[in-house]
Chains A and B, each alone.
Chain A
Amino acid sequence: MIFLELFWSFVQIGLFSIGGGYAAMPLIQDQVVDLHPWLTMAQFADIMAIAEMTPGPIAINAATFVGIQVAGLPGAVLATLGCILPSCLIVMTLAYLYYRFRGLRTVQGILAGLRPAVIAMIASAGISLLIMAVYGQRSLPANLATIDKTALAIFAVGFIILRKWKPNPLLIMASSGLAGVILYAVI
């Protein structure tokens, strides 16, 4: 039963994450934190950080992680399979239509319409992660002044460096991890 639920959750994630990369993030959060009690928000934040540091698509990384936590290695394999099943079917169909009719205008139109919505959802998921980073909990606390100033500083410096010099995100991840160790150890 748990296997079926895992599989089906990741089929939905695979099916509705359109636009690559971070587009899967809000869907994963929805399925594994909100709809199912598989990960806490803190664990979800962990896996997003791990996914950013390791190779491979975010959705596959998350599928493996959640699968193992919930049902061991078979769970990981099933969740990963679920995640790629919609891709296989739809990619093949689109490729067929593409070679047949030489044009994907409607598909691209739908995609163009989705793009702003996808950005909005990624932004929302990003805000959730930021709240998690600076308050250590899912939603804003009643007293906003309880903010973790160290975390806020790491975020702000990382963001400014990214905007200014466009370094590899991997570098930002590694140095913010290092900054965390140094600053929290000192304070």
Chain B
Amino acid sequence: MEKYWKLFVSTFRLSACTFGGGFVIIPLMRKKFVEELGWIKEEEMMDLTAIAQSSPGAIAVNASILVGYHVAGVPGALLTILGTVLPPLAIISVISLFYQAFRNNQIVTMAMAGMLCGVAAVIFDVVVNMVRSIASHKRILPLLVMAGAFTAVRFFSVNIILIIFVCGVIGAIDTYRREKAQKEGGRL
């Protein structure tokens, strides 16, 4: 029983105090569940992280599902989901209640206008980092995919889900061909 309570409280606290999404929460989860509680082994946590990042959806939610399931099965997973989802659900609900009143306040309007510029700056910064990490592989295909996807979504308003499908297929074929080339290269 104590284990369930701890699972819930740990994920609730992590979720309530973590700004900046999945890539921030995973190191904190590792600290809590690997170092402090010792419920998960170091290598296992790395595997769980890989799965959380490979799956669709929010990384924080994915990681908490895996941790909960790993420690206490399906009930554990349900508890950690609840712990992760409740804080943002509660906080945004409260903000939404006051949103209309807030929004008509002139100072809030000015602050929101400034913050929107801040979000744009943060997103551009993230994009530059991501583009640089792709470019560092020095392969032409990812860059072509990136340019193609950008043109499709920006100038032709192609459906995003369609782009994801097409690029996923390209990635799968590319991996298959590279693995095959590697195997044949090994045989020679």
Contact = CB atoms under 8 A, between A and B. Distances in A.
Q: Do A and B assemble together? A: yes
Interface of A: 12, 14-22, 24-27, 30, 45-46, 48-61, 64-65, 68-69, 73, 76-77, 80, 83-84, 86-88, 90-92, 94-95, 98, 104-127, 129-130, 132-134, 151-152, 154-156, 158-159, 162-163, 168-170, 172-173, 175-181, 183-185
Interface of B: 15-23, 47-48, 50-62, 65-66, 69, 77, 81, 84-85, 87-89, 91-93, 95-97, 99, 103, 107, 110-128, 130-131, 134, 142-143, 145-150, 153-154, 159-161, 163-164, 167-172, 174-176, 179
Contacts, number: 342
A169 to B, nearest CB: 5
Contact of A181 (B111, B126, B146): B111
Candidate in B23, B56, B153 with the most chain A CB atoms within 10 angstroms: B56
Contact of A64 (B60, B93, B170): B93
Candidate in A15, A132, A181 with the most chain B CB atoms within 10 angstroms: A181
24 contacts: A18-B56, A21-B22, A25-B123, A46-B99, A49-B119, A52-B122, A55-B88, A57-B21, A65-B92, A76-B92, A91-B66, A109-B175, A113-B175, A119-B146, A121-B163, A129-B123, A132-B116, A154-B114, A155-B117, A158-B117, A169-B122, A177-B118, A180-B111, A181-B107
A124 to B, nearest CB: 5
A140 to B, nearest CB: 12
A64 B85 CA distance: 10
A113 B167 contact: yes
A22 B145 CA distance: 19
Contact of A22 (B126, B153, B172): B126
Contacts of B125: 159, 162-163, 169
A118 B72 CA distance: 34
A129 B61 contact: no
Contacts of A20: 21-23, 53, 58-59
A124 B157 CA distance: 10
Contacts of A48: 116, 119
B46 to A, nearest CB: 12
Contact of A120 (B62, B149, B171): B149
B153 to A, nearest CB: 5
